[in-house]
Amino acid sequence: MRSPRERIVETTFELFTKQGYNSTGINQIIADAGVAKASFYLHFKSKEDLCVEFLNVRHQYWFNELHTFSLPSKGLYSKIISAFDFLIYMNEKEHFRGCSFLNILSEIPVDNIKILSVIQSHKADLRNYFLEILKDDVLSDHIYMLFESSIIESQLFKSNELIEKTKKIVTYLIA
């Protein structure tokens, strides 16, 4: 059986995905998670703290999935293309929900440094993922930008078509 904390985070993922950050209230999370209000506040001081936890859990999950997915890939070309294949896999698995971090970013005030720093950290780790593979900061940033735009465009159009086209572009860049 899942702990109240786990139920809260799981429910948060479902509600943020369906309704967004701003349209999801703490009382709805408490009710849908089947926990007492006191239990919620035992684990989280605020909706902002819950969002930070949600993003941290999502970060760990997403990178674990990426590493597991790309583990069989050998060589530079294969690892980079595998990352784009991973986007296709995630789109199919999560029905083109897009990037949790960018979805939240679009809803928070510009001065919410607590949540913003978690989002920036996630994106920095993704940039470093490509840098570690490519060992070229200009090329890796180019690939990173193509990767990020692929996430956004595939969410917008509910299609993997542009990811497939981007894989062809990446082939030319790293050949």
Question: How many structural domains does the chain have?
Answer: 2
pLDDT tens-digit profile of 6-20?
A: 999 999 999 999 999
Shared-domain flag, residues 21 and 67: no
| DSSP of the chain | ---HHHHHHHHHHHHHHHH-STT--HHHHHHHHT--HHHHHHH-SSHHHHHHHHHHHHHHHHHHHHHHHHTT--SHHHHHHHHHHHHHHHHHHHTS---HHHHHHTTS-TT-HHHHHHHHHHHHHHHHHHHHHH--HHHHHHHHHHHHHHHHHHHHHT-SHHHHHHHHHHHHHH-
Shared-domain flag, residues 39 and 57: no
Shared-domain flag, residues 137 and 63: yes
pLDDT tens-digit profile of 140-173?
A: 999 999 999 999 999 999 999 999 999 999 999 9
Whole-structure pTM over 0.75, yes or no? yes
**CATH for 13:** 1.10.10.60
Shared-domain flag, residues 20 and 91: no
Containing structural domain, residue 88: 46-174
